[in-house]
Amino acid sequence: MEFDEKGSAVTEFVMVATPLFLPAILFFNALHSTASEEINVSHIARQAVRAFATSSDLQMGHTRVKYVLDRFAEIENSNSRVSGGKYGFTYNIKCGAEKCLTPGSLVELELFRSFEVNESVSDSKSRKANAIARTYVDKWREMPNLES
């Protein structure tokens, strides 16, 4: 009497591989979310420092940075299926000159953002992404109003 064991290798593979692959898939999904968020923060930091460095005065520069961050949050909210707030940005600006917007001076913007990574195995975990972007104020532009 012969037994037909056709398909038992496939069954064994599924039974052994599923518990091994599931955590790997969850890990790579969380890694992808974190890397994607860090790339977004890096792009936004570059745009924000450009907006600041091309402004006419410091107050206008901060207004422009906040505008860039708010527009990104709006776009991200409109593309998201879930409404909610993971969109808190904070930033620091450092200047390489005594007056921040003097032609030729280096402007550095450090952008921070907290976000949550949803993992199916456990509760959401709060993470932070940060990026530093630098640019020079155009040497050939008119002198800005530095009284602000």
- Tell whether 146 is covered by a domain: no
- Tell whether 3 is covered by a domain: no
Residue 147 has a pLDDT of: 54
Residue 111 has a pLDDT of: 96
Residue 81 has a pLDDT of: 58
Q: Which tokens is 144 given?
A: 């800005």
- Tell whether 113 is covered by a domain: yes
Residue 63 has a pLDDT of: 96
Backbone angles phi, psi at 108, to 5 degrees: -125, 130
- Tell whether 81 is covered by a domain: yes
Closest listed residue to residue 139, CA positions, set 110, 113, 101: 101
Query: How far lies 145's CA from each of 57, 104, 148, in Å?
Result: 6, 15, 7
Q: Three-state DSSP class for 54?
A: coil
- Tell whether 147 is covered by a domain: no
Structural domain harbouring 114? 8-136
Domain tally for the chain?
A: 1
Instruction: Report pLDDT digits (tens) over 88-143.
Output: 899 999 998 778 888 889 999 999 998 776 655 455 567 788 999 999 998 887 65
Closest listed residue to residue 52, CA positions, set 136, 146, 148, 143: 136
Can you give the pTM of this predicted structure? 0.74
User: Percent of the chain, pLDDT > 70?
Assistant: 79
